[in-house]
Amino acid sequence: TWEQDPETFLIIIKGTGGKAFCAGGDVRVIADAGKVGDKLTKDFFREEYILNNAIGTCKKPYVALIDGITMGGGVGVSVHGHFRVATEKTLFAMPETAIGLFPDVGGGYFLPRLSGKIGYYLALTGFRLKGRDVLKAGIATHFVDSEKLPALEKDLIALKSPSTENIADLLNSYHMKSKVDQEKEFVLDEHMEKINSLFSANSMEEIVKKLKQDGSPFAIKQLETISKMSPTSLKITLRQLREGASMSLQDVLTMEYRLSQACMRGHDFYEGVRAVLIDKDQSPRWKPAALEEVSDEFVDDCFKPLGNNDLKL
């Protein structure tokens, strides 16, 4: 509607309430629906991915002010737009492998396109990036002090028939003035060489083997993190990113819709939501419990077309 409206020149999206931009979709509600066979498990992902695609293909300039927590679904409603403005309060993560899901909402498109293997690392470990690091990783396009956002918003709205260029110029001028953490080096800088070599393996088993062989404190920490994640999710995610690296956003979202429905049919998503969000015991019992037990056939199955139920964009 906004795209076709001659009165709309610019779309700005921001969070309410100060703490988060958007911390993600309500997976608890989806898990409850899945347990009773409610069609929300189909409709929620379908509508979400259609929205992600609408943002990714939007002709009007789209500015996301990602001030605060930006995770999962919050990444989906920001990262595909033209501009993403991070602040010192931004906290980015795609923590889905910890709840038996995968970094969806087009994660298979934008994550493998980040420099080196950063996207694979973020996707598999759920590592959190803060503040200026969100810009340095290539997720945000600009960095502005949080307290300057109201002024920025006012200036954006005051632009007369703004073009993408006008908006970029204005964002750049705010970006240049921000000095917060300017001197700090990128949090992953010292580990980039390791991330690029360790996470370039073709299989999860190989990544784990490489991490064990490396044996550095960094590698051991990653092993610890990965060992807590759903083995099924890890395998699905690695393949999702490897395939998504050369696909269009539309094809990625179609693929991810198939994966979402595979997760809704499975065990780990419900168990992950239970362990992290309901009982909060943080001890999910994954099935299968080991990477070796997740067969290639099972993973292949998750990627199969759904016929008439496929996502149509």
pLDDT digits (tens, 9 = 90+) for 125-174: 999 999 999 999 999 999 999 999 999 999 999 998 899 999 999 999 99
User: Looking at residue 17, what is its pLDDT?
Assistant: 80
- Residue of 104, 133, 256, 268 with catalytic role: 104
User: Looking at residue 18, what is its pLDDT?
Assistant: 86
- Residue of 48, 96, 268, 271 with catalytic role: 96
The DSSP output letter for 278 is I
User: Looking at residue 160, what is its pLDDT?
Assistant: 87
Largest CA distance in the chain: 59
Q: Which residues pair with 70 in a beta bridge?
A: 22, 92
Q: Give residue 134's Cα distance to chain centre.
A: 12
C-alpha 129/C-alpha 110 separation (Å) is 16
Q: Does residue 25 carry a catalytic annotation?
A: yes
Q: Does residue 169 carry a catalytic annotation?
A: no
Give pLDDT < 70 ranges for the chain.
none
Any idea which architecture 2-309 has in CATH? Alpha-Beta Complex (3.90)
Q: Does residue 96 carry a catalytic annotation?
A: yes
Q: Does residue 18 carry a catalytic annotation?
A: no
Instruction: Tell me how crowded residue 209 is: count the other CB atoms within 10 A of its CB.
Output: 13
Note whether 116 and 196 are within 8 A (CB): yes
Locate the domains of the chain by residue range. Answer: 2-309
